[in-house]
Amino acid sequence: MAGENRVFTASIEQARSSASRLGGGAVMGDKKIKAVAIRGTGDVFLARPEEFMKELQGVTDYINFRNTNPIKDVMTIMSGIGSPQEMLHTDEKWHTENFAWGNARTRRRDFWTDEIDASWTKSQHGAVKRLISCFNCPQHCGALISHKDTPRYMAKCFGKLTYAMAAYVDDLDFSWKILQRATEYGVDSFSTPQILAFAVELYEAGILTDKDLPGCPKDNEGRFFWLLDRVVRREGIGDILADGVYFAARKIGNGAEAFDHNTIKKHEQLPVKLGTLDPLYFLMYATNEKISITQMEGQWPQSAFPTMEQREEFVRDWPQIPDEKFKQYVLDWELRGEKAIPYYPTPPMCSEIVDWMEMMHNIDDAAGMCCGMSSFCLKPPYHIHNYPKLISAATGMDLDEAGLKKIANRSRNLHRAYNNRKGIRRKDEKPPADHWKRRFPELEEELLSTYYKYKGWNDDGIPTREKLEELDLGYVADDLEKRGILKNGKN
């Protein structure tokens, strides 16, 4: 229904997963496409099947190894492979105390008590009927959910928490109930809860009134169900909210714009508010074409390890890196001091690391690979060294690493050039003002400039003719020059 009504956060749902960011469902709805059904009737032909199966056996062996040897000294959901195992693990202390509640406002540092642990564990074990996997995958990242009298549905990852945290509801039972309705409607469970929380905040501030929300319940759970129904159906205030926080704030006016504090390039972000600027995450948030941190981060640790012993243990088993020097970056990275955030990793190092992670996400997208098996998790079974061999054996393309990197670079620069045509410039590449308490404007500008230079872009974040021609995209440079976006191939 959300797609048919062109809701900004409409998703494309399938049995075990969804395409949930940037409103793909709304595009289908606009084209009046209800669904796409495919039934394969032919065989799958491989160019060099024996070679392919040999490489695939190596992948399988590594999956089995990682499953029995989880990564040490990282949070539980990052210690294995696959999509974060939210349906398996019940300990949510890290998420609930580090992510922000409401309209990305409050960190409840003492939320996870023994009582909450017991209550949420009981709720999850009661709701999860069985863990499920994608076709022929040994991991079980999703779950079949049947909570009391709600119809059965599939769930995985962070959607388990987003509605409860946005609504300030401490009962996980609420999550299972509203997530079922949201899944049936077909809306993104990252952005949609923030839109609802934004509306509640406007009401509490007096910007929206009872006249705007006639009949809306006063309790937190009831409000969210009521608002969700109206957003998806585009009824009343829901018709405005359905366009997302950025556009809704500007339509509502009367100070609503100040409550739009967690969007980048007009899209809602994860509800995270932190202390000191992280240079890697600054670049990932600011420059990501997909405008979603989960489609950018992954193979690099989220923070420095406290001790040298932990760092050495981490880099000892790390064949996925594109260059051995990355190990030294981790070994030198400290929690405090000169080699800590915000000045370490340095801007050149950050550019290399971010380029690696976005490259892997682009390869996954082109190959149709689950990012939980490659770009999104630490030490995955698919990486830059075995991907070319697998693709070559399957297709006969005979790709090496350089050739695959060029394909990924073409994809990245085509995305960038298209967004440049739509108006994206350096001024748009910035995380929310309150994302970190301690900001460093000069360093942030240096990070952008260094990254742009590393990518072969000009100071406004536009690929130069030289870079585009290097990628056999001279026609794109012609187009950008014709539109006045590029001048003399550079400016």
Backbone conformation region of residue 344, classed left if phi is above 0, alpha if psi is from -120 to 50, else beta: beta
Residue 164 predicted with pLDDT over 90: yes
Give the pLDDT score at 82: 83
Give the pLDDT score at 290: 80
Give the pLDDT score at 7: 93
Give the pLDDT score at 489: 66
Q: Percent of the chain beyond pLDDT 70? A: 100
Give the pLDDT score at 138: 86
Give the pLDDT score at 19: 78
Helices 220-233 and 159-167, interaxial angle, to 10°?
Answer: 110
pLDDT band at 77 (very low <50, low <70, confident <90, very high): confident
Give the pLDDT score at 134: 84
The pLDDT tens digits for 206-263 are 999 999 999 999 999 999 999 999 999 999 999 999 999 999 999 999 999 999 999 9
Taking residues 408-419, what's their average pLDDT?
95
Give the pLDDT score at 295: 76
Name beta bridge partners: 267. Answer: 264
Residue 485 predicted with pLDDT over 80: yes
Strand ranges for 274-349 from DSSP E:
274-276
Bridge pairing between strands 12-13 and 18-19: antiparallel
Give the pLDDT score at 141: 86
CB proximity list for 445: less than 8 A, separation 6 or greater:
none
Residues 409, 406: Cα–Cα separation, whole Å: 5
Domains of the chain and CATH, by start? 12-39+82-268 (1.10.569.10), 274-455 (1.10.599.10)
Backbone angles phi, psi at 80, to 5 degrees: -115, -150
Give the pLDDT score at 48: 96
Name beta bridge partners: 19. Answer: 12
Q: What is 79-100 written as a DSSP string?
A: SSSSS--TTT----HHHHHHSP
Give the pLDDT score at 191: 92
Give the pLDDT score at 137: 86
Residue 294 predicted with pLDDT over 80: no
Backbone angles phi, psi at 360, to 5 degrees: -65, -40
Q: Are the CB atoms for 359 and 384 separated by under 8 Å? A: yes
Give the pLDDT score at 52: 96
Cis check for the bond before 342: say yes or no (omega within 30 of 0): yes
- Between CA 345 and CA 355, with CA 351 as vertex, the angle to 5 degrees is 125
> Mean pLDDT, the chain, as a whole number?
93
The pLDDT tens digits for 304-363 are 999 999 999 999 999 999 999 999 999 999 999 999 999 999 999 999 999 999 999 999
Q: Percent of the chain beyond pLDDT 90? A: 79
Give the pLDDT score at 21: 74
